Every structure is written in structure tokens, then in C-alpha cells.
Structure 1
Amino acid sequence: MPRLPHPAPEALRREPLPLRGRTALVTGASRRAGIGHAVARRLAAYGASVYLHHHVPHDAAMPWGADRPEDVAASVREALGDPDAEVLSGPGDLSDPDTPAELIATAASALGGRLDILIANHALSGSDGTLDEIDAAMLDAHWAVDTRSVLLLVQAHARLRPPGPGGRVVLMTSGQDIASGMPGEIAYALQKGALASITRSLSTTLAGQGITVNTVNPGPVDTDYLTGEAYEAVAACFLAGRWGMPDDPARLIAWLATEEAGWITGEVINSEGGFRR
């Protein structure tokens, strides 16, 4: 194989809208304080047309509560870097095994019949515990949402998208294999660990279709779920003395969606700001 030359000088100049013409689905983008919302804002600012998935009943049952989907979409539109980019949204209960394929089809149809980028950001909160506390129902609930639905989303995305460059899949994990792990959230840690483990296999499977697959561990991110002394104790574990903000992992995830990251696949990437457990 001939050795490729260096890029031409004009190819080194950064495109101000590197995702212009691309389409993206971001799951779990239902709260303005969340990572999904931050990722969607970055993708939109880079020129992508974006479909936001939400499951309001999940957040409404949590201490932090739910945002109105129209408010989340409106916030993403504020970040648009391309006046032609679209921001659409729709619901989906990903614990239902039929929902992932339906969501992919719905998002692709809404975005003009094509889906280039899949950001699987959703996860189940709560319904978990220590090794002594977990039961079969907890394990099954986290398996259904945190892992099974993600694999079915990737499957449906791969089946729908025509082969060609520019396909992107980004999964989310939680650093469950670093330091002491997550002994208080065994079901969640188990299923997120499965996503990290399957990343390389998925990247090999989808390479021939022009789809890269990477997984991001965002580390502790301030999404309004912790306050008080516990919040300050976590902040002190970061080299910068502050929590990660939603836009911190969002910048990495959005970059992985661009052509600049086209040579990166099969990786589990930590974005933790030097967090020391």
C-alpha cells in the first residue's frame, strides 16, 4: 500500500461547522442539567441536525425532577452554529425491547431519512444497591436499559445506515473498573462494564460500514444530583478543585463525531479531569 502524503495546507484549516450535513440521535437528553443536553448543544453548534430522545417518567420519579422536552429542545437551538440545522425530539421507553429500533427509525425519518451519529447517553438511575442488597429485578432492570437497549440501538443504526464514511457511535460508561469501582451500585456498574467490554468487538464489526465505535467515561459530572458536604468532598478529588461540568465530556464526544477523530475507534476514553478516588 502506498504511503499517504501529508495533508495539503488547506486540509489543516479547521472547518467552523465540522458536522454540517450530518444527523445525530442523542438518547437521554431530557434534562438541561444533563450530559445528553450538553452533547446535543455541541453537536448542533458544530452544524449537525439533532434528534433528542427523552423519557420524562424516569426523571419525574427522581429527586431532581424532569424538564419539559420543549424547553430542552429550545435550549439546544440556542447553540445552533448552522441556521439550517434541526433540533427535534421524541419520547421512548428503552426498557421495552421494541423501542430501540423504533427510535432509530423515527429519528432517521425525522432527520431526512439518514442517521450518521448515535450517542447512547441514557441510563437507569436508582433501583440498585450493594452486593447484599441487589436482587434479580434490579439486575434485570439495569440490563434492559443500560445494556440491552444500547446494543439494540447500535444494531438498528447499523442496519439502517448505508455503508460509507462518517458513521459514529459513542457509548457511555462510568469508570466502574477504576480504583475501588462502584460497590454501592453493583447492577449499574455491571451493565456499564459490559458496554466498555463490548466496545472493541462492536468497532471491529462496524469498521467495514464506515462506523467508528468508542466509549466515554465522563467521570463525576455535576448534573444537580449531589449537594452539601458530599458535593465538596468529590470536588476536592479533582486536580482543578471542581466537579466536571456537562460540557466537559460533551466537548470530547462532539469531537469524536467529527472527521478529526476518524482514526479513533474501539477505545474506552476517560474524561475525568485528573479525578483521584
Structure 2
Amino acid sequence: MLAVCVSVDHTAAVGTALVTGVSRRSSIGFAVARRLLERGDQVVVQSWAPHDAEQPWGADDLAAVLAELGDPPHLRADLADPEAPARLVAAARDAVGPLTTLVAAHARSALGRLAEVTAAEVDLCFAVNARGSLLLTQAFAGRYEPAAGPGAVVLFTSGQHRGPMSRELPYAISKGAIQQMTLSLADELIDADITVNCLNTGPTDTGWADPAEQDVVARLMPRGRWNTAAEAAAVVAWLTGPDARSVTGQTIDAEGGFRRWG
């Protein structure tokens, strides 16, 4: 399922970007979209509010989300659908022209220790997180036009390569697959002048943690607080800007000195 509403001037932009996972004002995707818009990029945003509605934090007011970004072109797409990534990239290109940037900030979240894991939830997390990121990159690369400018892809992982996440196995292993695919995708695309990197933001306050977990994690951070979505967006802006063209195939651990779990 995908719906699009656009009205965009294609002129005078630094770059053209598709940013997924922009359904809540507290999200990393929202912060990334705002940062890229502020530097002059034309940005298309994707959301899938039904996922948020299933979670403890709930869905945000999507109209308000978009309004705070200046009402950029917006696409509703369920990335559990294997055909959604290609349709999403095609619609984004129609909205703003050839894309130079892909930021796959979407995620399906799921708790579950080993005894609680179900095949259905594992499959869904892999479909949205790992397969979705892979097929988005495939579609982006397939439609990339070098004349539009240097290409950049930023994927997201969650630190499971640095420490265990045994309470949320479906999520952790699917995000781990993203971290593992990054180097191979970067090698595949570097000759096309597309960089591919993966960002581990560490504990980031996007409104999902309860007060007890907020306190525990804050005490494991040297600054005494969680990382912010704006800080993650700053790293994305660097990775997709002119100063990071020599950086590809890397997992950037921007964790703010997180000391892991005690």
C-alpha cells in the first residue's frame, strides 16, 4: 500500500533525498528529514503509522509531523510488502527528480527473549528491517543518475554488534543483518559513486523507554543523558554531505560513550 501527495519545485536544491521512518516528531527519521531540509535538500518522507499504533508509545499526529517539516512530499508505505521499496523510490523520484540520498531510518520494533520468539515476528522484523533496507538500496541504486550528484545511502543498526540485546531478539538480529550487509553493498556501489554506511546511534531518546529504563541507561552514559535524535541527524548530514565522500562500508558507532549494560 502506498499513497503520495506532492507539489514540489525541483530547482535550487543541494540534494534530493528519501528518508524513511518519519512518522513521529521524536523519531530519528524526523530529525534527519528536518536536518536535510535545513541544509537545502529536497526531501521525500515515508511513514507507516499502523506500526506505531501497535507499540506502547502510540502513533503521532501525522498532519502535525508533516507540518513541522514544512509539508514535504509524503509517502505512506508498508515496508513489509516486498514490492513497496521499489514503488517508494519510484514515487520519490517522481516527486523531486533523481535521488542523490537514501536514509533508511525506518524500523520494526519487537521484544522477545529466546523462549518467546515466534517465526512470524522474526519474519516480519527481517522483512521490514533487513529486507526493506536491502530492497530500498537496490531500488535507489537502480534509479541513481550520477549527473544529479554524488550518491549516499545511510542504513541503521542498533549496537547488537557491540553488546547483547537478548530481550529483543527479533529486532536485534534483523538490525544485525543490516550492519553485516553494509560492507558488501558499499563494495557493490562504490564504482557508481554511491557511498553506503551504517549508523549505530546508541541509546537515543525517541520516546520508547519507560522511566525506569530511562534512568538506568542515563547512568551508563558519560554525559548522564541519552543521545538525541538531532545528534544522530547530524551524523547522517555529515555522511551524506561532501566531507564524507571517502567514507564507505563503515559502521559508525555514534554512541556517546555508552558503557553498555552493567
* Structure 2 residue 249 is matched with structure 1 residue 266: yes
Provide the residue aligned with 2:75 in structure 1: 90
| Separation in structure 1 between the aligned mates of residue 61 and residue 74 of structure 2, nearest angstrom | 11
Distance in 1 (CA, whole Å) between partners of 2:235 and 2:211 is 29
1:68 equivalenced with 2:38 (yes/no): no
In the alignment, structure 1 residue 115 sits paired with structure 2 residue 99: yes
Letter in 1 for 2:34: R
The CA RMSD measured in Å over matched residues stands at 1.4
Where do residues 15-26 of structure 1 align in structure 2 (5 Å cutoff)? 20-26=13-19
Report the CA distance between 1:248 and its aligned residue: 1.1
The residue number in structure 2 matching 1:5 is none
State whether structure 2 residue 249 is matched by structure 1 residue 243: no
> d(CA) in 2 for partners of 1:131 and 1:64?
24
The aligned counterpart of 1:160 is: 143
Report the Cα distance in structure 2 between the residues aligned to 1:169 and 1:271, rounded to whole angstroms: 17
Larger radius of gyration: 1
Residue 138 (structure 1) shift:
1.5
Structure-1 separation of matches of 2:212 and 2:79? 34
In the TM superposition, what whole-angstrom CA distance separates every residue of 1:12-49 from its partner, at most 9, and x where no partner exists?
xxxxxxx9431001101110010000011110111101
In structure 1, the residue matched to 2:165 is 182
Q: 1:105 is paired with a residue of what secondary structure?
A: helix
Q: Deviations over 1:140-178 (max 9, x none)?
A: 111110111111100000001123551010000000011
Task: String of CA shifts for 1:98-125, please: whole Å, max 9, x gaps.
Answer: 10000000011111x2111000011112
Answer yes or no: is 1:54 the counterpart of 2:37. no
Q: TM-score, normalised by structure 2?
A: 0.91
Quick one: which of 35, 40, 43 aligns to 2:33?
A: 40
Shift of 1:226: 1.7
Is the contact between residue 134 and residue 187 of structure 1 (CA under 8 Å) also seen in structure 2?
A: yes
Q: Deviations over 1:212-263 (max 9, x none)?
A: 0000000111111123232111111111000111111110011111011111
State how far apart, in whole Å, the 1-side matches of 2:118 and 2:51 are: 20
Secondary structure in 1 matching 2:214: helix
The size of the alignment, in residue pairs, is 248
Moved more, 27-36 or 184-193: 184-193
Name the SS for the 2:73 alignment partner: strand
Q: Give secondary structure in 2 for the equivalent of 1:269.
A: strand
Q: Secondary structure at the match of 1:87?
A: coil
Counterpart AA for 2:63: E
2:234 match: secondary structure:
helix
Whether the 8 Å contact between 1:239 and 1:274 is mirrored in structure 2 is yes
1:174 touches 1:217 (CA, 8 Å); kept in 2? yes
C-alpha contact (below 8 Å) 1:92/1:99 kept by paired residues:
yes
Give how far 1:272 is off: 0.8
Provide the C-alpha distance between the structure 2 equivalents of 1:185 and 1:90, rounded to a whole number of angstroms: 28
In 2, the alpha carbon distance for the partners of 1:230 and 1:189 equals 18
Moved more, 160-169 or 254-263: 160-169
CA distance in 2, matches of 1:71, 1:209: 38
Cα distance in 2 between the residues matched to 1:236 and 1:20: 42
Alignment partner, residue 100 of structure 1? 85
Matching residue's letter, 1:39: V
Q: Unaligned stretches of 5+ in structure 1? A: 1-18, 78-85
Identity across matched positions, percent: 44
Give the letter for the 1:199 counterpart.
T
Q: In the alignment, which of 152, 156, 162 is matched to residue 172 of structure 1?
A: 156
Q: Residue 234 of structure 1 corresponds to which residue in structure 2? A: 217
